[in-house]
């Protein structure tokens, strides 16, 4: 966490220095604040999704059962998190480049803004009527296969490789906020230039923070898996509420940005 904070500070310092020197590839402070206003809340809302929590609990319980070594649990959790990070970075960079080639900024913002509102409303539905009609989580039909894959993992190396597959299972649960951010950054690609890649990096660093925290809590013995799982189950609707409010506000913000 400390290194992440240092990275953010360093990014601001470097951009400020470059801007002062007249580098045309650097955006203004006002624009930086605007982009972080979109990016950080969306990344936080995405990072606290119940699906990622459930995946970590299944994986780490399997490792702990087979190995019984908490250091191995930490290594497995770290490598799994790394593979998820790599997967989401690769998907994000590819999609960002594709969307940035779109000619119509107006329609791109209209689509991602509307998507943000719909994702927000869907998550709010899960707060008030959880499980009705649909859930903003991994589809029930996918879950047995996902659990089967995770329970077969008995080593840190296995956790690393299975992370790439599990990233695909998590897409229905985690891709919404990411798509909104990528679409918005792509719509502003002419302004932010290469800084779009740094924003995507920061988004994904925020996204994996809860995974790191869960790994450390379990690996260092501060919390048991059952205790954390119970806490998640008791607060799953609240997690959807937080994400819903964030995404609804961001969607409205982006739609309003079209009119300004």
- Tell me the per-residue pLDDT of 194-213, one tens digit each, with 9 for 90 and over: 788 999 999 999 999 999 99
Interval 11-20 mean pLDDT: 44
pLDDT value of residue 28: 67
The answer on pLDDT for 24 being more than 90 is no
Q: Is the pLDDT of residue 23 over 80?
A: no
Burial 146-178 (b: 16+ CB within 10 A, else e): beebbeebeebebbbebbeebbebbbbbbbbbb
Mean pLDDT of 85-97: 95
Best-predicted range by mean pLDDT among 88-92, 172-176, 226-230?
88-92
* Whether residue 4 has pLDDT greater than 50: no
Specify the pLDDT at position 255. Answer: 93
Q: What is the pTM of this model?
A: 0.84
DSSP class of residue 132 equals S
pLDDT score, position 206:
96
DSSP result, 30-77: HHHHHHHHHHHHHHHHHHT-HHHHHHHHHHHHHHHHHH--HHHHHHHH
> pLDDT tens, 62-76?
888 887 788 899 999
- Share the mean pLDDT of the chain: 84
Mean pLDDT, residues 130-134 taken together: 80
Residue 125 in tokens? 């539905």
CA 63 to chain centre: 24
Between CA 232 and CA 6 the distance in angstroms is 30
Residue 224, pLDDT > 50, answer yes
Q: Which candidate, 216, 166, 202, places its Cα nearest to that of 51?
A: 166
Question: What does the alpha-carbon distance between residue 107 and residue 157 come to, in Å, rounded to a whole number?
Answer: 44
> What pLDDT shows up at residue 27?
56
């Amino acid at each position: 966490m400390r290194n992440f904070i240092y990275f953010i500070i360093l990014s601001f310092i470097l951009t400020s220095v470059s801007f002062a020197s007249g580098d045309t590839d650097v955006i203004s402070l006002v624009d930086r604040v605007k982009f972080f206003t979109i990016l950080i809340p969306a990344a936080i809302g995405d990072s606290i999704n119940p699906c990622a929590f459930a995946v970590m609990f299944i994986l780490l319980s399997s490792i702990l059962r087979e190995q019984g070594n908490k250091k191995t649990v930490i290594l497995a959790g770290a490598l799994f998190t790394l593979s998820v990070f790599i997967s989401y970075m690769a998907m994000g960079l590819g999609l960002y480049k594709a969307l940035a080639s779109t000619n119509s900024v107006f329609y791109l913002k209209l689509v991602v803004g509307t998507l943000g509102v719909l994702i927000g409303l869907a998550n709010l539905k899960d707060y008030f009527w959880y499980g009705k009609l649909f859930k903003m989580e991994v589809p029930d039909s996918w879950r047995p296969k996902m659990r089967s894959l995770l329970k077969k993992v008995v080593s840190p190396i296995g956790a690393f490789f299975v992370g790439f597959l599990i990233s695909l299972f998590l897409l229905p649960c985690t891709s919404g906020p990411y798509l909104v951010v990528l679409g918005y950054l792509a719509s502003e690609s002419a302004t932010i230039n290469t800084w779009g890649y740094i924003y995507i990096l920061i988004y994904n660093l925020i996204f994996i923070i809860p995974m790191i925290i869960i790994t450390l809590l379990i690996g260092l013995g501060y919390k048991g898996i059952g205790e954390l799982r119970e806490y998640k189950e008791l607060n799953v609707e609240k997690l959807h509420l937080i994400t819903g409010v964030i995404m609804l506000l961001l969607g409205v913000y982006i739609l309003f940005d079209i009119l300004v």
